Amino acid sequence: MTIFYQVVLDGLMNGMLYALVAVGLSLIWGVMDVINFAHGEFLMIAMYVAYWLGFIFYVDPLISWMASGVFVFMVAALTYQLIIRHTVGKPPLSSLLATFGLAMMLKNVCLNQFSPNFRLLSDTVLGGKVLHLGGVIISMPQLVTALFALVVVGLTYVLIHRTRLGWAIQATAMDKEAAELMGINTERIYLLVFGLGGACVGIAGGLMPSYLAVHPEVGTLFGLIAFVIVAMGGFGSIFGALLAALLIGLVEALSGFYIAPVFKYVAVFGLYLVVVMIRPRGFFGW
Amino acid sequence: MRQIIKRMIILSAVVLMGGLMGSPAIAADKVIKIGTLFPLTGSCALAGQRCQASVATAVELINNVHSDIDVPLADKAGLLDGYKIELVHADHQGKPDVGKSEAERLFNQEKVYAIIGSYNSAVTKPASFVAERQKKFFMCGCSSSAALTKRGYKYFFRMAPTDETESMEFVEVMKWLNETKDAGLKTVGLIYENTEFGKHAADEGKKAAADHGYQVVADVPFNPGATNLNSEVQTLKAKNPDVVFGACLGGDYTLWVKTMKQMSWLPKVALNYCTGYQDPVITKQLGKDANYFMGGTGYSPEFAELMPAVAAVEEIYKKKTNPSVPFDSDSIQEAVATLILAQAIEKAGTLDYETVAKTLHENTWESPLSLGGKVAFAPGGQNIKAMSLITQLQEGSYKRIYPLDLADTDPVVPMTPWADR
């Protein structure tokens, strides 16, 4: 039974990390109808920021996540101003292709600047630390990242559902013209939403170098899983993203251990296909 | 007078045209274009870039006079009567389909004489098929899938030991550790990337273990580039094999090691095929966590006394890598592949494919950059003189532990637990 608990716990912790990566994407997609293909690359940039801060200035990921979050917020805001703004209201394919181009550009800039080398931060505060709970081993870096994820996802939920700004965001998402007639500056809302989406994935990326290697390809699979989560949870639903992420983390861990490790992504993407076939809007889609 | 001037003009024009047409033709004839095909982007890019630099190092030795370096062809400039090698680089991104189309491009459009490559066995397989179909050379440095040289190809030559050879070495080491260190090694687990390389390594590993009476209790393939290896390591931990054979490349190797540490688990012995274990950069990144893992190693700077000719060549190589690194087991084999092809061309005295292929097969070649010192090919192209040692990482350094006549250190068995490092 200990192994079962261990597998479930690993799945939940991974799921929470996925939720943090996906929540920003969900927000952008739900509010702006923009598919940010560069989301995984934003995660990669955040990891590099945390890595270099750790490598050069010995800043631990426990602190550098703030810098990563702010940095990717700015990158995302800049992306909106320079690229996305010109695609809003146009066919969805235009923003998708634009962000795909951005993803390629970011990946190749990092490849040229930092080489494809895998970089690991050694001697981080949490590095290699574990908690023993009965027979279950809890990896501290993963636990802390998971707790951060819960807090950030929770705060994002509160922001959207319990504040005037959040209501403005929801109003913009539901009917842009009506929101403008009510005096909401929708351009500014879009800018903020894109920045917030970046900040969420920035925070996730800032925490991850405490246990994962950084390299230009690191965001690719995380980005893909984030898309699956958003589609399963429902476009724009933060609660849906959290639920879908936890489900995916659990399915990945349980199928990986009880069926076969090589089967885990088959199960994840198989589940996604089933959900999309039965309920194309996802669990809690707007 | 007018006639004379007219004839002079015609003569000058003919000479000029002859010069214009002739010079490039001669220049072109004096160049042997060779393609390199490595993963320059993607998850194995760093290894690919080092392999490419290794080929460039060998070409530097072939094209220029380096009389102070004790390597065949280093004391003269070029091949035959003044041919120089010119490299054309290609990137297969670690993808078999890209590798195949790039091989076709190199042969058909770039008109290369041969291809050196291509690190990933999964790519080497289709790319070398292209070469064989065109009856042109594919010189393979370090791809280790035993299947590659079991196809009976005539124009395919591989320098490195295969995963079949390494698997046999692994079980020999296990037997030796049981006999001399009372290690109690009885069960084996395998973790490997789900690719041509990983699957073949695992097949050979399982076969070698079974042949020697060891029980395989865990068989764990994984998708390269996974976001986590928790299920994979959890599966190993649940089965708790005494020995793990690993075939994980690049970042997957670091993730595997880190995940084992997170789960507070280690086997008694971990033996690795030519993988992330052999990568000095990854070893440095892992720091103390890299220690006490073992694996097959064809070259490491710690082998300097066994391979004295390498040091001078390594200095050239280091200038071609950024960041500057010494050769590793994989990259050095690509230089060997280039030098052996060049020696065969020189000995054959022609670029004719049939003659050079025959020459390659019929001779034993001096190879100071190989651990065995010689290279000779069996039908199918496997280097039967290929050698590797079993090393163990101790304090970040590759220590030689087996075979005993070449060993310089006693192995640490079982591996020191994470908490005691």
What type of residue is A151? Answer: V
Confidence band, pLDDT 50/70/90 cuts, at residue B17: very low
Q: In this structure, what are the phi and psi dihedrals at residue A119, rounded to the nearest 5 degrees?
A: -120, 130
CA–CA distance, A151 with A245 (Å, rounded to integer): 15
DSSP code at position B414: S
E strands, B197-342, are 215-222, 243-247, 269-272, 294-297
Beta-strand relationship, B137-140 and B294-297: unpaired
Q: Please, is B272 exposed, middle or buried when counting C-beta atoms within 10 Å of its C-beta (0-12, 13-18, 19+)?
A: buried
Q: Which pLDDT belongs to residue A112?
A: 79
Residue with tokens 């160049």: B31
Locate A121 and state its tokens.
Answer: 């931060």
Residue A183 has pLDDT above 50, yes or no: yes
B42, B264, B282 ranked by CB distance to A130: nearest: B264
pLDDT > 90 fraction of chain B, expressed in percent and rounded: 70
* Rama region for A217: left / alpha / beta (φ>0; ψ in -120 to 50; rest): alpha
Residue B48 has pLDDT above 80, yes or no: yes
Inter-chain touch A220–B234, beta carbons under 8 Å = no
Residue B15 has pLDDT above 60, yes or no: no
Is residue A135 within 8 angstroms of chain B, CB to CB?
A: no
Q: What is the largest CA-CA distance in chain B?
A: 104
CA–CA distance, B343 with B363 (Å, rounded to integer): 10
**pLDDT tens track for B346-373:** 999 999 999 999 999 999 999 999 998 9
Report the alpha-carbon angle A81-A86-A90, nearest 5: 145
What type of residue is A7? Answer: V
Q: Please, is B310 exposed, middle or buried when counting C-beta atoms within 10 Å of its C-beta (0-12, 13-18, 19+)?
A: buried
CA–CA distance, B37 with B87 (Å, rounded to integer): 10
Confidence band, pLDDT 50/70/90 cuts, at residue B169: very high
Q: Which pLDDT belongs to residue B22?
A: 41
Is residue A115 within 8 angstroms of chain B, CB to CB?
A: yes
Q: How many CA atoms lie within 13 A of B113 on its CB side?
A: 23
Mutate: best of A262, A263, A268, partner B, most B CBs <10 A = A262
Cβ–Cβ under 8 Å, residues B243 and B413: no
Residue length of chain A: 286
Residue B302 has pLDDT above 90, yes or no: no
What type of residue is B100? Answer: K
Q: Which pLDDT belongs to residue B13?
A: 52
DSSP code at position A86: G
- CA B42 vs CA A24, B16, B92, B120, B126: distances in Å: 26, 50, 9, 12, 18
Q: Which pLDDT belongs to residue B251?
A: 78
Residue A286 has pLDDT above 60, yes or no: no
DSSP code at position B415: P
- Which chain A residues contact residue B194 at CB under 8 A? 262
**pLDDT tens track for A220-249:** 889 999 999 999 998 888 999 999 999 999
CA–CA distance, B135 with A18 (Å, rounded to integer): 50
Using CA atoms of B371, B377, B379, B380 in order, give the dihedral in degrees to the nearest 10: 60
E strands, B49-144, are 84-91, 114-117, 137-140
Residue A187 has pLDDT above 60, yes or no: yes
Look up the ipTM and state it: 0.83
**pLDDT tens track for B1-13:** 555 555 555 555 5
Q: Which pLDDT belongs to residue B25?
A: 36
Q: If we measure between CA atoms, which residue out of B268, B322, B365 comes closest to residue B72?
A: B365
- Give, rounded to a whole angstrom, the gap between the first and last alpha carbons of chain A: 39
- Which chain A residues contact residue B418 at CB under 8 A? 128
Q: Please, is A122 exposed, middle or buried when counting C-beta atoms within 10 Å of its C-beta (0-12, 13-18, 19+)?
A: middle
Lateral strand order in the sheet of B31-38: B84-91, B31-38, B114-117, B137-140, B156-158
Q: What is the largest CA-CA distance in chain A?
A: 60
Mutate: best of A12, A109, A110, A120, partner B, most B CBs <10 A = A120
Q: In this structure, what are the phi and psi dihedrals at residue B294, rounded to the nearest 5 degrees?
A: -125, 165
Of B185 and B304, the one with more pLDDT: B185
Q: If we measure between CA atoms, which residue out of B377, B402, B384 comes closest to residue B392?
A: B402
Mean confidence (pLDDT) of chain B:
90
Average pLDDT over residues A139-151: 92
Residue A161 has pLDDT above 70, yes or no: yes
Burial call A37-62: b when 16+ CB within 10 Å, e when fewer: bbbbbbbbbbbbbbbbbbbeeebbbb
Q: Which residue of B has its CA nearest to A140?
A: B262
- CA A233 vs CA A39, A69, A176, A247, B349: distances in Å: 17, 24, 23, 10, 69
Distance from the A71 Cα atom to the nearest Cα atom in chain B, whole angstroms: 23
Residue A285 has pLDDT above 80, yes or no: no
Residues contacting A220, CB < 8 A, separation 6+: A40, B225
CA–CA distance, B313 with B170 (Å, rounded to integer): 30
Mean confidence (pLDDT) of chain A:
91
Residue B26 has pLDDT above 50, yes or no: no
Q: Which pLDDT belongs to residue A206?
A: 95
Point out the least confidently predicted range of A19-23, A127-131, B112-116. Answer: A127-131
Is residue A112 within 8 angstroms of chain B, CB to CB?
A: no
Residue B41 has pLDDT above 60, yes or no: yes
C-beta neighbour count of B294 within 10 angstroms? 27
Beta-strand relationship, B389-394 and B397-402: antiparallel
DSSP code at position B162: P
Average pLDDT over residues B303-316: 93
Q: If we measure between CA atoms, which residue out of A223, A228, A235, A231 comes closest to residue A251?
A: A228
Point out the least confidently predicted range of A45-59, A266-280, B106-120. Answer: A266-280
Average pLDDT over residues B258-281: 89
Q: Which residue of A has its CA nearest to B259?
A: A211
Q: Which pLDDT belongs to residue A62?
A: 93
Is residue A14 within 8 angstroms of chain B, CB to CB?
A: yes
Beta-strand relationship, B137-140 and B114-117: parallel
Average pLDDT over residues B180-206: 93
Is residue A119 within 8 angstroms of chain B, CB to CB?
A: yes
Is residue A128 within 8 angstroms of chain B, CB to CB?
A: yes
Cβ–Cβ under 8 Å, residues B401 and B177: no
- Which chain B residues contact residue A139 at CB under 8 A? 262-263
Q: If we measure between CA atoms, which residue out of B170, B119, B171, B168 comes closest to residue B148?
A: B119
CA–CA distance, A96 with A173 (Å, rounded to integer): 18
pLDDT > 70 fraction of chain A, expressed in percent and rounded: 99
- Which chain B residues contact residue A260 at CB under 8 A? 221
Cβ–Cβ under 8 Å, residues B312 and B318: no
Inter-chain touch A217–B43, beta carbons under 8 Å = yes
Confidence band, pLDDT 50/70/90 cuts, at residue B127: very high
**Segment (H or E) for B249:** none
Q: Which pLDDT belongs to residue B27?
A: 45
Of B283 and A16, the one with more pLDDT: A16
Cβ–Cβ under 8 Å, residues A51 and A60: no
Whether pTM > 0.95 for this model: the answer is: no
Q: Which pLDDT belongs to residue B265?
A: 94
Q: Which pLDDT belongs to residue A212?
A: 86
Residue length of chain B: 421
Q: In this structure, what are the phi and psi dihedrals at residue B270, rounded to the nearest 5 degrees?
A: -120, 120
C-beta neighbour count of B111 within 10 angstroms? 11
Residues contacting A169, CB < 8 A, separation 6+: A31, A160, A189, A192, A193
Q: Which pLDDT belongs to residue B9?
A: 56
- CA A49 vs CA A207, B40, B214: distances in Å: 11, 24, 47
CA–CA distance, A190 with B365 (Å, rounded to integer): 68
Average pLDDT over residues B103-120: 95
